[in-house]
Every structure is written in C-alpha cells, then in structure tokens.
Structure 1
Amino acid sequence: MNHSELDELLKIQTSAEDYIIKSISSSDKKTLTNKEIMSILHPVLRWDEEDGTPVLSGESILPSDENISISKHHRFIPIPSHQHDFIELFYVYSGSCTQIINEKKVTLNQGDMCILDTNVTHSIEATSENDIIINCLMRKDYFDTSLLSRLSSNDLISNFLVHAIYQSKDYNNFIIFHPGQRQKLHGLVKDLMCEYFDPSVCSKEIINCYVILIFSELLQIYQDQTPEVQILDQTTNTKNISKILEYIQKNYITATLATTAETFNFHPNYLSTLLKKTTGKSFKEVIHEQKLKKACTLLKNTDMTVEDISLEVGYNNFSFFYKKFKDAFGVTPLEYKQTK
C-alpha cells in the first residue's frame, strides 16, 4: 500500500458511518445515550461503566496477539466522555477535531498529535467528512518495556517526557504536539498506517520500528519547539527544563546543584523545586539515575569490571554504588552483567 492508496482507504465511509448518516438525525445525535452510541460503533469500541464514566478496556479493544491497534475514528457522531486503560496516540490526518480533555477544550488541526495516558477523561465532538482522525492504541506494558527501552535508555529528556505522561499528582496526563510542516513525521505516520493496514513479512517488527521513529521525532519536536505541553503548571519554566536535563545528562559526573543552578542563572532552591515539580525527582535522584543508566550500558556492552564501571560513572565508593544499583534494579551489578 502506498500513500495514495492509504488516502483513498481512509476516505471510505465505514458501515457505522453510513448508518449514522442515513438513520440518525442531527437532533437525535444530541440525545443519544452512551449505550446507544456504543451499540452503533460496536465492536470497534466496547466499555464498562464505573460511576457513570465509561472505561474502555484494552483487553476488549486490542487483539489478543497485538500490542498496537490502529483505526480511523468514526465521524459524524460525538464520542461521550470516557477513560481507557491503554496509551492512545491521537493523530489528525486531515481537517480538525475538538476534544474535552480533563475538562479543558482542545482543538487539534491537521498534523497535530496528542498522547493520552491511561485514565484520562476525554470526549470528542462530532467530526465532519474531511475530519479524518487516527487512533493508535498501545498496551501500557508494551509502552513501558518494548518502546521505552528501545527509544532511549539513557536520555533524560525522554525519561522526563514519559514521567510527565505517567505522573498523576501534579500533571494532567496528556501532551499535545504541533509538528507543523515536519514532513518526516507525517510520512512516518503514513508509513505506519500503510504497514498496519497492508502487512508485509515481519510486519510486527516493522510496525515497532515505525513507532520508535515516530516517538523519536516527537522528542525532537519537544526539545526544538517546546510544543504545547499540557502536563505542566502554567508558571513552570518549560523552555529551560529540557536544557537543564541535557546539561545534567552531559555533566552528571561533575555537576552539582550549585554549579547547575549557576549555569542557568537560577537560585539553587529554585532549581531544586523546578526539577522536583517537572520530573518528580530531586537533583540527587536525577544524578543517580543518570549514573546508574550509564553503568547499565557499560555492564551490558563492555568487558570492564564492576569496580572500574563504578569509578567510570562517578562512584568512588564501590559499596555505595552496589547498594544504589541493587535498590534501583533489584539485582547486583555483577548479576546484571551476567544476564547481558
């Protein structure tokens, strides 16, 4: 399947859309209950209800042998407020759409993307013929293990992004990206859909690779353009945090709270608060995390002794390194090295 064939496929009205157009008047659409809407869209969407809020289950939506499901959002009918237990990547292929996410009205235009964490409450207003929206659903355990470990095991920026999605206390659990004219990203999304709708040999691995590339592009957009990030408090200095994390990533062995704060013209107390608010970790915890991830890379990919690796990543006290490593990963450095 090429991009032109994909475009034709996405423009075709589904049987549910045909029914909506031919059998439901505009006034009736506004009075439909959740269950009535579900009966129209079934089996694409199935849910249970808790306290009146529909909760979509990945077990009922995602095929049992797949970690990712891609589908076209049904047009011409509003989707009521709901939650789900999987990660959703929402892409506007053409036109636009308006959602209410965590009680905030958000309009996405062609090319925009939105990542929704689990348990985010959102609804979608009815879309028209030219509004083609793509839903990419991912099991959270796949997002945790397969995607993140391959995306960037040593990148504090990607860790910050992921933590932002997962954090439930101080964040709203969704991120919006406005890629603009980044044709590489739009091309990758189209390639992903072509492979999914018309699978080739080794299709699952190809799809995994496309997802990795798409998230890598989103990380670039995050760093280069500081997109509309709905996870942060309006007073947070979002433009500085990625630069600070980059600095820590490059200078984790020698960086201190005082020297880092001085580099960015902050008071140390302010920097400490900023890091805690945006990453959920203290400065020391961020430093230790980076040191231990570097240690993991060396343990997996070199013949260096554990003692040498401890010194290489900035731990002069081997016993302290041993304890921090086991606390973080549940195994000793030597046990970790032996399983590589």
Structure 2
Amino acid sequence: MDKNLLKQLMELTEEEKSIVQQKQGVIKDIYTSQSNFIIESEKFLRKDKMITVRKHTRFIDFPKHKHNYIEINYVVNGGLKQKVGNDQISLKKGELLFLNQHMEHEIQACDREDIVVNFIIQPPFFQFIFQYLHEENKLTDFLINSLFNHTESGQYLYYKVSDVTEIQDIIGKLLKEEANNSLLSESTMKLYMGLLIIELIKNTDKIQQNEGVLQNQYLVIEALTYIEENYKNGTLNELAEQLHQSVSSLSKNIKKATGYTFKELLQEKRLSKSKNLLETTDLSIKWIIEEVGYDNISYFYRIFKEKYGMTPKAFRSKRLGQKYSN
C-alpha cells in the first residue's frame, strides 16, 4: 500500500471527528432516506457513475443493515469484525468480502488503526462483464444471484487473498484512481474492477462462502452473453439452437434462475442501450429505435416511458438541459 495514501486514509473524516467529539451513534440520514436501515448508493454515488470507494467510518458500531448495491469490504490496515447473516467474520489486512444487496450484516466499531474501504458497485456493472465469463464458478454464481435473485436471499463471498500479489496490486490501483479523481477515473476504475474480477475467479480456492447457489448458472451466463452481443436481432429460438436445448426447457431455466423471461431480459438490454445512445450521441431517435431492434415506434415509446417515466424525446431534452446548465 502506498504510504501517502495510507496516511491520507488514517486521517479522521468530518463524520469521525463528530463521533469522537460528541460520542453519538450512527447518523442514519448520511446513509439512507428510508425508515429501515438500507444504505443507498445514491448517498455516495452520482447517477452517472457505477463504482466508487468510501472509507468505512471508524469508532462506532454499525447496526444490522443491507445495501441497495453490491459492496466489497477491503481491509487496508488492521482488521474488521462483523456478523454477516449468522456468521462471525474477522477480516484481516489484505482480505476482502463481497456482499450482495440482500445480505444483512452488522459491524463492530473499528479502532484508529483499522482502515477499511468499501467498494460501492451498482449491480448493472456486472451485466457487461458476463460476456467475458463463460465458465461456472463461485463468483459468477454469486453475481447472477445478486443481479437476478427474485427470492432475495443474502449471499457473501469471503476471499482470503492477502498473499495474492496481483489482487493486492489491482486494489491499490483502484484506490489511487479514486483518490486522483481525474476525468478518466470512472473508465479506469471500471477497467481495474474487471481485472479484479478475473483475478478473483482465478483464486476461487481461497473463497469461504455461505449457502445459496443457483442451478443452471451456465445456461444463464450463456443467455446473458448472447443478449449482450445480439440484442438487436437475437431470439430465444436461435439461442436454444446454439445451446442444444429445447425452447421450452431453456425458457423455464432462465425464468427459474433469474425471475425474468428471455423476452424481459432482452427488452431490458435494448432499453438500457437506447438510453445510453440518447445520453451520449446526437443520433436521431428513429435511428436509435431501429438500432436496438424495434420497428414499432409507438410501442418503443410506450415501454421506454414505462421504464424511465418519460418519452425518449423528453429524456433527451432533459439530459441536454442538464448538460448546458453545468
């Protein structure tokens, strides 16, 4: 770990100073706007960002809570003791813990020397990564569960990787990039996070995990990869043929594993792609509609409005207004 970065992380934040001086409990308004303690990514992450890093607040116990995002706890220095579900876990320096958004945990107060950072990651970030993950493993199983778990069961992965140099180096680069906060930081952090996922997959032998696995994860990964690459013209029939599955069997397996039909997953990808094109290009709305696979303009307008609360034209106008007001 870079000594200057560690020194920076050792400094007390304003929240920590307030806790030390006033000896108060967790100020929930900092973390959530809800009555139940679900920490919201919106409190720390801009809407146009998918990844950020936040230092864990020391000197105070955190009561039971969940997140509406995927969190990675990483111990920079010292340790972190917490109860995750029914399991007591003591993270040591260099170890990390994946928590999906359905996992409840409570954390013991950290001392001054206990430096922990939390990676806050929006679940859709991992949808992009699936096109590069073609093998069954514990991490892809965990990510699928986090993205499509309609039963909302909590899951965690505890990685004992303090001795894996490649992982430690990548995390160090992620922390430096967050501290630099340059114009390219968001793109660079996505790249490093992708590399981190690959290294973690290589080290699945170092995982301790709770129960809760998905069946047929291979088929789900292949379906998500297919949709990512063929969202414009892809069909369930073509996918079934490629996987040597019957259409009905594949359809049932996708629905069972994700809670969504193939058609719903395809539509979600098309809408996400159209939203991105509206935000980042000046292409005509008619061209965008055709590009994402629709030929019925009125139908697209209806489902887009259902998803985002406004028409594509209104969405683009709003984004342009925000752009020129900044």
Query: TM-score normalised to the size of structure 1?
Result: 0.59
- Other structure's SS at 1:176 match: strand
Could you say which residue in structure 1 is the equivalent of 2:116? 134
SS in 2 for 1:320: helix
Q: 2:213 is matched with which residue: 228, 234, 242?
A: 234
Q: How far is 1:182 from its partner?
A: 6.5
Shift of 1:3: 0.9
Distance 2:39 2:307 in 1: 29
Q: How does 1:264-275 map to 2 (within 5 A)?
A: 264-275=243-254
Question: What SS class does the counterpart of residue 245 from structure 1 fall into?
Answer: helix
Q: Which residue identity is paired with 1:83?
A: H
Q: Which runs of structure 2 are paired with 1:1-340 in the superposition (5 Å)?
A: 3-6=2-5, 46=26, 69-71=54-56, 82-83=64-65, 88-93=71-76, 99-104=82-87, 111-116=94-99, 120-123=103-106, 134-136=116-118, 155=128, 157=130, 164-165=145-146, 170-176=151-157, 178=159, 180=161, 183=165, 185-191=167-173, 193=175, 203=181, 212-213=190-191, 215-220=193-198, 233-338=212-317, 339-340=319-320
Q: Say which is worse superposed, 225-234 or 100-109, in terms of deviation.
A: 225-234
Cα 1:319–1:172 shift into 2, 3 Å: same
Q: Deviations over 1:203-240 (max 9, x none)?
A: 59787677545544455457777796969842423344
Q: Counterparts of 1:297 and 1:40 in 2: how far apart (Å)? A: 44
Counting matched residue pairs gives 285
What whole-Å deviation, never above 9, does each CA across 1:14-64 have from its counterpart, x for those lacking one? Answer: 9xxxxxxxxxxxxxxxxxxxxxxxx9998596268xxxxxx86869xx99x
Separation of aligned partners in 2, 1:41 and 1:211: 35
AA partner of residue 155 (structure 1): F
Cα distance in 2 between the residues matched to 1:43 and 1:119: 30
SS in 2 for 1:46: coil
**Counterpart AA for 2:168:** H
Counterpart AA for 1:102: G
Counterparts of 2:4 and 2:296 in 1: how far apart (Å)? 61
Q: Deviations over 1:85-142 (max 9, x none)?
A: 676531134687664322245565654432445674324589999x95614275xxxx
Q: Report how far residue 319 of structure 1 moved.
A: 1.9
Work out whether residues 149 and 259 of structure 2, in 8 Å CA contact, stay in contact via their aligned partners in 1. no
**Helix, strand or coil at the partner of 1:136:** strand
Q: Which amino acid aligns with 2:2?
A: H
Secondary structure of 2:233's partner? coil
Tell me by how many angstroms 1:326 deviates. Answer: 1.7
Structure 1 contact 93–111 (Cα < 8 Å) conserved: yes
Determine the C-alpha separation between the residues in 1 that align with 2:236 and 2:259. 16
* C-alpha separation in 2, matches of 1:41 and 1:237: 53
Query: How many angstroms apart in 2 are the aligned matches of 1:232 and 1:254?
Result: 38
Q: Please, which runs of 5 or more residues in structure 1 have no aligned partner?
A: 15-38, 49-54
SS at match of 2:293: coil
Secondary structure class of the residue paired with 1:171: coil
Q: Percent identity at matched positions?
A: 22
- Single out whichever of 178-187 and 299-308 deviates more from structure 2: 178-187
Q: What TM-score comes out, normalization by structure 2 length? A: 0.61
Give the Å deviation of 1:253.
2.5
Taking only aligned residues, the RMSD between alpha carbons, in angstroms, comes to 5.1
> After alignment, is 181-190 or 275-284 more displaced?
181-190
Do the aligned partners of 1:101 and 1:122 also contact (CA within 8 Å) in 2? yes
Counterparts in 2 of 1:288 and 1:136: CA distance versus 1, 3 Å:
same
Is the 2:174–2:193 Cα contact (8 Å) retained in structure 1?
Answer: no
Shift of 1:7: 5.5
Counterpart residue type for residue 266 of structure 2: I
Letter of the aligned partner of 1:172 in structure 2?
S
